[in-house]
């Protein structure tokens, strides 16, 4: 009845790591995996997972754990450190999964070339990054970026009344956020 006495859900700390393009993002994922083989990369969309499978197959003969978000609560994740390789457009859906699998801190790797960023000013951010001298293969991480992504996700949540599923981030945006 009153939100004054309602127990507040603990906030899950997001660490966003953003690359200029997909190649830099995947190379960063490979470096991370090379330093810690106990990582499981989690993808929200099947198309992204297929890209990762192809990338890792070219780079290593060792098995890399790549899961869809639907599989994140599976036994394959047991004892592994989950790292998300993209954002889901709806913040609440992300938060629900993070809570369900018991995460307190979450790393999310993204690219400014991903459809979610392209739809909300990724090219402008790219220009600023280049003017600041940030290299193409550099990963940036800052609380302001995480807050900006959160605001975009919350804007999308307000526009989506009935979510339609999709196999790619681009397809999801087209189905759920018509221009």
DSSP per-residue codes, 89-106: S-HHHHHHHHHHTT-SEE
Asked if residue 43 is part of any domain, the answer here is: yes
Cross-strand partners of 107: 15, 83
Looking at the 3D structure of the chain, how many domains does it have? 1
pLDDT in tens, 58-95: 999 999 999 999 998 878 788 899 999 999 999 999 99
Q: Among 43, 14, 19, which residue's Cα sits nearest to residue 122?
A: 19
Assign 19 to helix, strand or coil. strand
Asked if residue 96 is part of any domain, the answer here is: yes
Asked if residue 2 is part of any domain, the answer here is: no
pLDDT in tens, 20-62: 999 999 999 999 999 999 999 999 999 999 999 999 999 999 9
Asked if residue 3 is part of any domain, the answer here is: no
Assign 16 to helix, strand or coil. strand
From the CB of residue 15, how many other CB atoms can be counted at a distance below 10 Å? Answer: 14
pTM to 2 decimal places: 0.88
Asked if residue 5 is part of any domain, the answer here is: no
CATH number at residue 74: 3.40.50.300
Asked if residue 81 is part of any domain, the answer here is: yes
Asked if residue 159 is part of any domain, the answer here is: yes
Asked if residue 6 is part of any domain, the answer here is: no
**Which positions ≥6 away from 6 have C-beta within 8 Å?**
none
pLDDT classification of 147: cutoffs 50, 70, 90: confident
Query: Where in the sequence is the domain holding 46, given as residue range(s)?
Result: 13-176
CB half-sphere exposure, 62, CA atoms < 13 A: 8
DSSP per-residue codes, 84-149: ESS--S-HHHHHHHHHHTT-SEEEEEEETTSHHHHHTTHHHHHHHHHHTT--TT--B--HHHHHHH
- On average, the pLDDT of the chain sits at 89
């Amino acid at each position: 009845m009153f939100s004054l006495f309602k127990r507040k859900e603990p906030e899950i700390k997001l660490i966003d790591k953003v690359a200029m393009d997909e190649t830099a993002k995947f190379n960063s994922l490979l470096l991370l995996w090379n330093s810690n083989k106990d990582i499981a990369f989690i993808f929200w969309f099947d198309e992204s997972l297929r890209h990762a499978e192809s990338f890792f197959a070219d780079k290593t003969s060792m098995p890399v754990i790549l899961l869809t978000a639907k599989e994140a609560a599976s036994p394959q994740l047991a004892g592994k450190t989950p790292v998300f390789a993209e954002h889901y457009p709806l913040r609440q859906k992300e938060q629900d999964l993070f809570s369900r699998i018991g995460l307190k801190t979450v790393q999310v790797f993204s690219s400014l070339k991903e459809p979610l960023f392209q739809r909300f000013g990724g090219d402008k951010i790219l220009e600023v990054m280049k003017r600041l001298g940030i290299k193409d293969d550099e990963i940036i991480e800052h609380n302001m970026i995480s807050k900006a992504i959160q605001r975009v996700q919350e804007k999308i949540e307000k526009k989506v009344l009935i979510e339609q599923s999709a196999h790619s981030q681009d397809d999801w945006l087209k189905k759920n956020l018509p221009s």
